[in-house]
Every structure is written in C-alpha cells, then in structure tokens.
C-alpha cells in the first residue's frame, strides 16, 4: 500500500492551494485576456493522508479564493476584527481557528444575558460552543432572543432533561452494525465520518458524540470497518455522509473517502449532509468544488434555519456547488422563536430557491436532552405547511417529517386535504379552505 505524494503531509497539493483559480480552466486576467491554466493535479491515494486537524495552519501560504464579503460580515469585521485582511477572513481554516468557543470570546462580542452566562459556566462536558466569526456576524449583539443567536449560545434550560427526552432519541447507536455507520433503512446507510462541526447548533441530535469524544476524530481503522460492511451488503445503494460535518474534512481526506465509496459497485450515489455552506461559506473553494465534481453522482443536503443566513457569501458558495452539477436540497429544523411562523419559513424557502437550493425536509425538533425550549407543537409544523401549500410555488414547500423516536425513521405529516367521500365522489379542501367534489367512482360489485 502506498501514498503517491510529493507534498508534505501538513500541506495540500498545488491544486488544492490554487483556490484563487476559478472552476473552469480558462480564466480572464485583469486585462480581460483569456489565460489557459493547467488542470488541477489529482493525488492518487491508497491510504488517507496524515493530516487530521482542519484547524492546523499550513506552513504554506495559499492563495485565498475571491469570495464576496457581504455587508453584515464587513461591518462586523470592522468592529471586532479590524486588523484582519480579506485574505485571512476568507480563509476557512482561519475562520475555524478563530471560532468563538468560551465565555471570554462571547463576552468580547455579545452582551450576554444572565441565563446565557450561567449556562456557559455550567456547560462542562455537554455540547461545546463553537461559532465562526462569519456566522457570528449574522447574530444580534444585544438581543438574546434573536433567531440565530438562540441556536448558537446555550441557556440554562439546555441543561435540564425533560420527560421523554434522551441523548440518543433516534436510537442511532442501537442501529449501528459497526462504529460510525447507522443502517436503519433497507437500501441506505448513514456514515458518520467526523465529530467536528464548524458551529454547534444547540438542538443538535448528535450532541452526545461531540460532548463525549471531543471535537475532531478521524479513525482510519474505523473507516475501513465501515467500508468493509458496505462492500459486504449489496442491498445498500445510497450512502449519506454526515457527522459532525464532512465538509470540515481536508480535501484529500474527503476525496479518499469518496473514491473508496465509488469503487463499491452497488453504491449508486453518495449524499453529503452539511451546514458548512451556511456557516462557513469560505470552505466552498474552487478546489473543493473541482474535487467534488469528479465524484458524481453526488448530492448535498444543506442545513438552513433562517432567512438571514442567505447572504451574498452563501449565495456564491451555493452557486459554485450548483454550477458543478451538485443537486442541492435544504433541511430545516422547526424551532421555537427561530422559524416557527409562516412568513419566516416562506421567506427562507423563497430565498433558498433564488440560490438554487430546493427545500427538502422540515423536521420536527428531535426530543434530545434539554431541547424542550426549542420544540414546537406538531400542529405548528402542519400550520406552516398549510400556509405554504397553494400560497406559493410547490418547489418552496418542504416535506414536514418527524423522525420517530426509537429508530422508526422519518414519518411525513401533511394537512388533511381530503375531507371524506360522498358515494362516487371524494370531497377535497383546497388551500383557501374551499371544498370540491372530485369524481372517483367506487368499484362495481
């Protein structure tokens, strides 16, 4: 077994460092003259590279992609990171290294409420705090009830386990035939490839993983066991990479894994579940996108929560992914005080469509320990779907689902549009509440 490398293990290939080169191989220079560039060199791997930590600075100073800096981020940077040049701000590893992770970091920027300050002091081994400077720029400095801030900064109620709550409410651990792999559905699996996230959502279903095993984890031996299981089960045709967040992995790590998966004949396609484009759009570099484009069919589900997340930076990041032919879908968790009204949800769904992200799932918040203050009544989700269906384009209406406790899987819920039957007619109710008779003759005896 070998590694065909001509770069140090703590550096990327020359292609990976060429993040200021656009996705095509023909670019225009400042004088609008066509310049032909060499195609990116691909590293051939039989073993994963040795670099584990995405936060570690490289000894090589790589060019930084030209990503837009939106008005919110620009104002925030001037106030709190005034000496940071564009080059650093647009460097995703810099964003990870400078995450806000403790009380001192939070108090430097936010006016914390007593409840926030108390929770941070008590958090101990629970889900840590981690907020990229970019994502912090979208949060209110003074209002602890602002939507995104509610999802990022803990409060005391997070530390109270309510009735019917559990650390692993979906019983993922009991459906794990080998570590890191969850096989619940007949033809697909969930592959948990890292415990590291760019930011930590306070309602996270897998808070138990980060809290118990630390932030970053890459175990080659564990991966080999999971890959061996996949090879031995030809009924598996679909693999969802999640974690943690797969897009926090280094390009070469992720490519090694994608290459291994695509070598398994019965795996038809791979999906990536991620929040990185929303919280760390700087990560979506041209080099990353070129690499992902080599591994079609590849799909991506992106976690979005609120309209304010759809910024110029996020639009550009999603545009790069969409231009590479990667179908993008959104996943949103219904949460109190964040997105639990029709107008907020409609605005989010509309904005997602403008950046070529198709609304996919709206989740009822899972009953994880300490989540009662986030969960809405199930009827609220049905009310939102009813407020979207017919009132806006069908593409903007996600599927509302509950992930059944104990490992029952996703169960879709829809408002009752079929009122009943009158002989050979079914009675239907439309989005305006009007009823209609639809001919549907019963079978003859």
* DSSP three-state, residue 445: coil
- 201 classed as catalytic: yes
Rounded distance between C-alpha atoms, residue 148 and residue 421, angstroms: 45
279's enclosing H/E stretch is helix 276-279
Instruction: Considering only CA atoms, give the Rg of the chain.
Output: 23
Selecting among 117, 237, 410, 429, the annotated active-site residue is: 410
Selecting among 201, 202, 245, 260, the annotated active-site residue is: 201
- 320 classed as catalytic: no
- 197 classed as catalytic: yes
323's enclosing H/E stretch is helix 312-323
- 403 classed as catalytic: yes
- 184 classed as catalytic: yes
Rounded distance between C-alpha atoms, residue 194 and residue 248, angstroms: 8
Rounded distance between C-alpha atoms, residue 409 and residue 169, angstroms: 11
Selecting among 204, 253, 283, 361, the annotated active-site residue is: 204
342 touches 376 (CB < 8 A): no
Rounded distance between C-alpha atoms, residue 262 and residue 259, angstroms: 5
Return phi, psi of residue 270, to 5°: -125, 140
- 167 classed as catalytic: no
Which of these, 188, 270, 191, lies nearest to 236 by C-alpha position?
Answer: 188
User: The dihedral of CA 161, 162, 163, 169: what is its sign?
Assistant: negative
Selecting among 206, 260, 271, 351, the annotated active-site residue is: 206
Selecting among 91, 197, 251, 290, the annotated active-site residue is: 197
* DSSP three-state, residue 407: coil
Number of C-beta neighbours around residue 395 at 10 A = 12
Selecting among 93, 149, 184, 253, the annotated active-site residue is: 184
* DSSP three-state, residue 289: helix
Strand boundaries in 279-336, DSSP class E: 298-303, 328-334
What single string gives the DSSP state of each residue in 125-189?
Answer: TSSPP-B-HHHHTTS-SS-TTSHHHHHHS--GGGG---TT-BSSTT-TGGG-SBTTEEEEETTEE
Total residues belonging to the chain: 445
The residues assigned a catalytic role are 184-185, 188, 197, 201, 204, 206, 366, 403, 410
């Amino acid at each position: 077994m070998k590694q065909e490398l001509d770069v140090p293990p703590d550096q990327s290939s020359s292609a990976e460092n060429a993040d200021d080169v656009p996705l095509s191989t023909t670019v225009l220079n400042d004088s609008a003259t066509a310049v032909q560039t060499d195609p990116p060199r691909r590293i051939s791997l039989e073993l994963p590279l040795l670099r584990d930590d995405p936060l570690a600075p490289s000894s090589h100073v790589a060019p930084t992609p030209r990503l837009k800096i939106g008005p919110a981020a620009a104002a925030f940077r001037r106030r709190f990171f005034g000496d940071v040049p564009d080059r650093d701000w647009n460097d995703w590893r810099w964003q990870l290294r400078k995450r806000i992770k403790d009380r001192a970091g939070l108090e430097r920027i936010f006016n914390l409420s007593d409840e926030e300050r108390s929770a941070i002091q008590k958090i101990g081994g629970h889900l840590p705090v981690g907020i990229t400077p970019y994502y912090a720029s979208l949060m209110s400095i003074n209002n602890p009830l602002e939507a995104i801030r509610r999802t990022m900064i803990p409060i005391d109620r997070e530390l109270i386990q309510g009735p019917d709550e559990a650390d692993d409410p979906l019983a993922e651990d009991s459906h794990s035939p080998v570590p890191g792999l969850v096989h619940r559905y007949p033809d697909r699996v969930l592959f948990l490839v890292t415990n590291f996230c760019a930011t930590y959502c306070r309602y996270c279903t897998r808070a138990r993983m980060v809290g118990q095993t630390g932030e970053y984890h890459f175990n080659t031996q564990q991966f080999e066991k999971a890959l061996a299981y996949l090879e031995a089960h030809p009924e598996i045709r679909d693999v969802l990479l999640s974690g943690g967040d797969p897009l926090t992995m280094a390009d070469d790590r992720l490519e090694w894994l994608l290459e291994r998966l695509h070598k398994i004949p019965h795996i038809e396609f791979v999906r990536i579940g991620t929040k990185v484009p929303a919280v760390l759009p700087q990560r979506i570099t041209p080099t990353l996108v070129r690499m992902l484009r080599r591994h079609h069919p590849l799909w991506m589900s992106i976690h979005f929560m609120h309209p304010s997340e759809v910024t110029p930076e996020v639009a550009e990041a999603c545009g790069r992914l969409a231009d590479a032919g990667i179908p993008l879908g959104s996943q949103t968790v219904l949460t109190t005080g964040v997105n639990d009204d029709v107008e907020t949800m409609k605005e989010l769904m509309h904005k997602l469509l403008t950046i070529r992200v198709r609304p996919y799932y709206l989740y009822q918040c899972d009953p994880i320990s300490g989540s009662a203050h986030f969960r809405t009544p199930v009827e609220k989700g049905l009310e939102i779907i009813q407020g979207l269906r017919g009132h806006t384009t069908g593409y903007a209406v996600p599927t509302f689902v509950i992930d059944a406790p104990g490992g029952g899987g996703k169960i879709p819920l829809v408002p009752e549009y079929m009122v009943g039957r009158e002989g050979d007619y079914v009675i239907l109710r439309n989005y305006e509440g009007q009823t209609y008779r639809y001919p549907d003759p019963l079978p003859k005896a």
